[in-house]
Amino acid sequence: MTPIRILVVDDSVVIRKLLSETLSADPEFEVVGSAGDGRIGLAKIAQLHPDLVTLDVEMPVLNGLETLTELRKLYPKLPVVMFSTLTERGASATLDALSLGASDYATKPCDTGSPAVALAAIRAELIPKIKALCAQPASKLASLPPPRPPVPVRRPAQRRIEIVAIGTSTGGPNALAEVLPRLPKDFPVPIVLVQHMPPIFTRLLAERLDSRSQIHIQEGSAGVTPCPGQAWIAPGNFHMTLKRSAMGSRLELNQDPPENSCRPSVDVLFRSVADVYGANVLAVVMTGMGSDGVIGAERIRGRGGEVIIQNEASSVVWGMPGLVHASGQADAVYPLDQLSQEITRRVLQNRAAPALSPRNEPVALEHRSK
């Protein structure tokens, strides 16, 4: 098997050494070179032809964003993973980088006090992302079980969608920026979503999406009643769930153990949405690495809800939606540029029908006005 050739671009000698040694210890990787600034990095790409570049955000001469802008002009499909600090400035720059075409990001280990802990953090976060982004077509097919036809689900004739739940990971910020701004201002149901990101990142993502969308988007808070025309993003390092209340439902946050190595977890959110809203759920699983969302999708469809997914061609990584598809839990598959239209269509149909409880009995789900 040909190793994945990696170029490390970072102005810190310590970080370059740490990354190079950690990545080289994996037999599937070959670190072909390193660079201390963006200009040198661009020159080395031309010389070394790497399969993937790790790129620091803050560097002299050409910073990460400037380097990425030039890199994308010359190498539009070369995978790039940003390596940034877990700070507000680092998070903001990383979101800028993703919008400029970065494939993914990893956060630098900080204040660990131990090189061994730092190495373990890099191995846990960065290595799986590189392997997912650089997987060959044959490897991608081998990593997924064969697709099954959709599992038959009995859905009550009188039902309507009362909430949309979205789960996404790698490639998700750009995918969400494609879908959420296209939803109409009078979108008639609330949206709850999980995007795998650490603290600070999720708040800044919510603010950016809100500034570009007609619906209101914010980071989730405990005790909030989901309202039509609004969306809530699970905060980093917290699971977000829904619980029944006098107003229909309310958001809750917890720091229970990670599921699928994730907190927030899509499965946690999806299960709670299914338990509260029963058949009146539309779930959307978008681009992302790993299996988070498969069990939750099964719970939603088991209660009579619907699950649609992003297709492989438009996904950065088809892990999460691909596994939902392979498990037979996808009702339909759509390219990214059709998802907002399809979400709106499914929500608007049967709006005159009464909502149903999880036991398929009519129930009034009241919401606060916008």
Alpha helices by DSSP H, 113-223? 115-133, 137-143, 172-179, 201-212
| DSSP classification of residue 183 | S
Q: What are phi and psi of 54, to 5 degrees?
A: -95, 135
CA torsion 164→266→239→124, rounded to 10°? Answer: -150
Nearest-10 crossing angle of helices 294-302, 266-277: 10
CA torsion 150→153→157→159, rounded to 10°? Answer: -90
| DSSP classification of residue 85 | -
- Give the span between the Cα atoms of 217 and 183, in whole angstroms: 12
Question: Six-digit token pair at 253?
Answer: 């946050």
- Give the span between the Cα atoms of 17 and 8, in whole angstroms: 9
- Give the span between the Cα atoms of 87 and 39, in whole angstroms: 25
Question: Six-digit token pair at 222?
Answer: 């405990």
- Give the span between the Cα atoms of 126 and 110, in whole angstroms: 15
Contacts of 47 (CB under 8 A, 6+ apart): 33
Tell me if 194 sits within 8 A of 264, measured CB to CB. yes
**Residues acting as catalytic residues:** 169, 196, 292
Q: What are phi and psi of 64, to 5 degrees?
A: -60, -40
Tell me how far CA of residue 295 lies from CA of 243, 259, 271, 284, in angstroms: 19, 11, 8, 13
